[in-house]
């Protein structure tokens, strides 16, 4: 391929692989058909001049095309020529004459002659250089044979500010009278609107719309004021006069031919402005307009509410200091809803030779993809259940960019223990990469009987997740984690981990007596038995009767013994040993102490403990003090 790409579109399966393919028109005078899955050229058709318009239609698959030499032609799905019109401008002068009417756009319209095939509209116009014989022509063409069905000519030109740009045609296709036939709306160089009946070619004209500028593009939008007729947005180029040039967007009510609202880009005093492209998107209830514009050096994209012109969001696309706006084009395109919020997304080309995919609702960047040169055209293709983005640049490269970028994910899973007692707590945790806050990880368990069940854990802001269960059945269990592929991320499954559930060791109570008070101490021991528990100074002594190694788990009320939130010191038969503090709260601390075979005594030392016979000692001290005081009082009487 050579030269930049003027237009790119999706076409129903040409290659026979069951997926949509791509057709495009290029500066190198060719129409290309591209395999949508592989990017390989299926066929190409060469004409005499650059191909500026390519429009595929269905049932059967055919391709309308228009080129810079005013040719309009139809190709079948194999790239063979069905018919060709050499001069859609119906000119009586040579192409070198300044009053030669150049093709400005082609559009698909309704089936006019009843052959169950959509027909074609071609619009041509003279340019600014033609002084005396300005004119435009709009013609309906039979898609079956290329014959004219009707033709409307008028002695006035269409605005030609951007006539070399296919996005600049001030033409809209709308069913104005609800007769199921698409009609034609266009505006001439004097800002007079023409509405042409799509079935008959008969036209009516409006009064001049006062705009202080020239309308170079129309965009059809849903009915703004609920009068039963679709309306249009008009894009104006306004000469600055004494100040800089600027631009305007206005909403036109087609029934009354009045301006409903308008927005200026620039102020004709200090700030210049320009508008480059626009695309209509919606959220299933309201229509919006994504517009790429320049205000002084600031290139940005905004989203406007088409009903009132209010701006919903704005995104900076870089700096553009050039004021030569005529040859510039920054494309924007509607991309059907990707994230399921009911709002279409927006694709945009920027000055930094990048394609941006933006969330339509917020304007946030979903992703940015750099291409080799300036982005000229954007569209979308549906290869699976979600659309992807089509892009063409100025060095004849076409791209299919994943609308939902499938990022490889990873998922870990960990267990708090590989062996637990029945009905005890087991924590399953892990981490997802990349971080997906709020997404769900499914944990799939299999019990010893082969029964499978699952539940979900929520991924946190740091990418971690955790969940607890209390398994009851004794035997071997397994668990693995699954992250389902939604949004931008591919599905992933973790490794499978095994754990064992054993019979629950019964909990015992030892009633520790301190004076007249009994303190129940809960404990479990998996080998041998506890003979006695006593308090001595700041230590708790546990006597054992065991001939095998095991472990003691003991609950220590802080009212009995504590270490002021420091570590206890634990000895077994006067030897310091390691232990685990399994739990600590305001009421108690739980220690798990492994012990060797033939262990006799475990000593747990803290910073304070209840002294034995504490209540009796306090009472004895009080009695003694009373006796001393009484003795002294009696001594004073003698």
φ/ψ (deg, to 5) at 553: -110, 120
> Among 23-32, 201-210, 311-320, whose mean pLDDT is lowest?
201-210
What is the predicted pLDDT for the residue at 41? Answer: 93
Structure tokens at 129: 């250089």
- My answer on whether omega of the bond before 434 falls inside 30° of 0, hence cis, is yes
Distance CA 111, CA 311 (A): 38
Residue 487 above 80 pLDDT?
no
Bridging pattern class, strands 452-458 and 332-335:
unpaired
Percent of the chain predicted with pLDDT > 90? 37
Fold match between domain 410-502 and domain 508-612: yes
Task: Encode pLDDT of 253-286 as tens digits.
Answer: 888 888 889 998 887 677 888 888 888 898 888 8
What is the predicted pLDDT for the residue at 578? Answer: 93
Q: What does the pLDDT average to over 185-212?
A: 84
Residue 84 above 50 pLDDT?
yes
Task: Encode pLDDT of 30-74 as tens digits.
Answer: 999 999 888 899 999 999 999 999 999 988 899 999 998 889 999
| For the chain, domain boundaries | 410-502, 508-612
Residue 403 above 80 pLDDT?
no
Task: Encode pLDDT of 291-312 as tens digits.
Answer: 998 888 889 999 999 889 999 9
Higher pLDDT, 340 or 208: 340
Percent of the chain predicted with pLDDT > 70? 88
- Mean pLDDT over each residue of the chain, to the nearest integer: 84
Residue 635 banded pLDDT, cuts 50, 70, 90: very low
Task: Encode pLDDT of 109-149 as tens digits.
Answer: 999 999 999 999 999 988 878 878 888 999 999 999 999 99
Specify the 3-state DSSP secondary structure of 516: coil
410-502 maps to CATH 2.60.40.10: yes
What is the predicted pLDDT for the residue at 141? Answer: 96
Higher pLDDT, 437 or 635: 437
Q: Quick one: CA torsion of 319, 322, 326, 332, rounded to 10 degrees?
A: -10
φ/ψ (deg, to 5) at 256: -100, -10
508-612 fold: Immunoglobulin-like (2.60.40)
What is the predicted pLDDT for the residue at 147? Answer: 95
Residue 629 above 60 pLDDT?
no
> What are the strands of the beta sheet with 246-253, ordered from one edge?
214-221, 231-238, 246-253, 258-265
For 94, half-sphere exposure in the C-beta direction (CA atoms, 13 angstrom radius) is 2
- My answer on whether omega of the bond before 215 falls inside 30° of 0, hence cis, is no
Task: Encode pLDDT of 340-399 as tens digits.
Answer: 888 999 999 888 788 888 999 999 888 778 777 788 888 888 766 678 888 888 777 888
Contact 431, 450 (CB under 8 A): no
Residue 623 banded pLDDT, cuts 50, 70, 90: very low
Q: Which of 81-85, 321-325, 339-343, 489-493 tops mean pLDDT? A: 81-85
What is the predicted pLDDT for the residue at 451? Answer: 92
What is the predicted pLDDT for the residue at 410? Answer: 82
> Among 148-152, 246-250, 302-306, whose mean pLDDT is lowest?
246-250
Q: What does the pLDDT average to over 233-260?
A: 81
Contact 34, 379 (CB under 8 A): no
Largest CA distance in the chain: 151
Residue 637 banded pLDDT, cuts 50, 70, 90: very low
Specify the 3-state DSSP secondary structure of 157: coil
Contact 304, 311 (CB under 8 A): yes
Residue 167 banded pLDDT, cuts 50, 70, 90: low
Q: What does the pLDDT average to over 75-98?
A: 89
Task: Encode pLDDT of 523-579 as tens digits.
Answer: 988 878 899 999 998 999 999 998 888 899 999 998 899 887 678 999 999 999 999
What is the predicted pLDDT for the residue at 634? Answer: 40
Number of Cβ atoms within 10 Å of the Cβ of 472: 11
Residue 441 banded pLDDT, cuts 50, 70, 90: very high
CA nearest 424: which of 486, 454, 469?
A: 469
What is the predicted pLDDT for the residue at 322? Answer: 74
Structure tokens at 37: 């899955």
């Amino acid at each position: 391929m050579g030269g930049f790409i003027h237009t790119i579109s999706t076409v129903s399966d040409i290659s026979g692989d069951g997926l949509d393919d791509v057709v495009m028109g290029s500066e190198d005078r060719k129409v290309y058909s591209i395999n949508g899955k592989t990017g390989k050229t299926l066929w190409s058709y060469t004409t005499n001049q650059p191909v500026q318009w390519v429009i595929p239609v269905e049932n059967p698959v055919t391709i309308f095309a228009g080129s810079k030499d005013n040719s309009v032609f139809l190709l079948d799905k194999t790239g063979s020529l069905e018919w060709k019109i050499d001069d859609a401008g119906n000119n009586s002068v040579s192409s070198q004459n300044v009053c030669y009417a150049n093709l400005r756009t082609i559009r698909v319209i309704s089936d006019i002659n009843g052959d169950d095939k959509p027909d074609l509209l071609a619009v041509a116009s003279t340019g600014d250089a033609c002084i005396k014989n300005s004119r435009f022509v709009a013609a309906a063409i039979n898609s079956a044979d290329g014959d004219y069905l009707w033709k409307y000519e008028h002695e006035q030109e269409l605005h030609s500010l951007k006539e070399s740009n296919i996005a600049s045609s001030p033409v809209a296709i709308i069913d104005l009278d609800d007769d199921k036939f698409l009609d034609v709306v266009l505006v001439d160089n004097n800002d007079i609107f023409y509405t042409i009946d799509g079935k008959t070619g008969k036209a009516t004209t409006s009064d001049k719309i006062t705009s202080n500028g020239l309308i170079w593009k129309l965009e059809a939008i849903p009915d703004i004021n609920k009068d039963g007729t679709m309306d249009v947005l008009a894009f104006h180029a306004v000469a600055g006069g004494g100040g800089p040039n600027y631009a305007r967007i206005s909403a036109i009510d087609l029934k009354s031919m009045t301006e409903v609202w308008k927005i200026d880009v620039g102020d004709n005093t200090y700030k210049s402005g320009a508008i480059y492209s626009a695309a209509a998107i919606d959220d299933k209830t309201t229509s919006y307009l994504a517009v790429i514009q320049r205000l002084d050096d600031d290139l940005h994209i905004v989203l406007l509410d088409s009903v009132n012109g209010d701006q919903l969001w704005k995104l900076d696309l870089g700096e553009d200091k050039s004021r030569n706006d005529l040859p510039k084009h920054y494309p924007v395109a509607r991309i059907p809803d990707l994230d399921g919020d009911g709002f279409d997304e927006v694709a945009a080309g920027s000055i930094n030779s990048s394609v941006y995919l933006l969330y339509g609702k917020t304007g946030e960047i979903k992703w940015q993809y750099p291409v080799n040169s300036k982005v000229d055209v954007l569209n979308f293709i549906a290869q699976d259940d979600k659309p992807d983005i089509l892009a063409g640049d100025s060095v004849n490269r076409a791209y299919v960019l994943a609308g939902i970028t499938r990022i490889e994910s990873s998922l870990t899973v960990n267990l708090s223990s590989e062996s637990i007692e029945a009905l005890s707590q087991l924590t399953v945790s892990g981490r997802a990469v990349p971080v997906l806050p709020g997404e769900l990880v499914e944990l799939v368990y299999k019990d010893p009987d082969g029964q499978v069940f699952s539940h979900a854990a929520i991924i946190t802001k740091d990418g971690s997740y955790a969940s607890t269960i209390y398994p009851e059945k004794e035997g071997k269990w397994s668990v693995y984690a699954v992250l389902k592929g939604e949004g931008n991320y591919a599905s992933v499954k973790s490794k499978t981990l095994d754990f064992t559930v054993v019979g629950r060791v019964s909990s015992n109570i030892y009633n520790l007596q301190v004076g007249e008070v009994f303190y129940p101490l809960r404990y479990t021991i998996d080998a041998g038995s506890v003979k006695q528990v006593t308090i001595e100074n700041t230590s708790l002594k546990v006597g054992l009767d065991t001939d095998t190694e095991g472990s003691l788990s003991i609950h220590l009320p802080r009212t009995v013994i504590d270490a002021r939130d420091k570590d206890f010191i634990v000895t077994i038969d006067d030897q310091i040993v390691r232990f685990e503090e399994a739990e600590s709260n305001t009421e108690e601390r739980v220690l798990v102490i492994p012990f060797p075979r033939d262990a006799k005594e475990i000593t747990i030392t803290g910073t304070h403990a209840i002294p034995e016979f504490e209540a009796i000692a306090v009472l004895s001290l009080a009695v003694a003090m009373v006796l001393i005081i009484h003795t002294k009082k009696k001594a004073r009487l003698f």
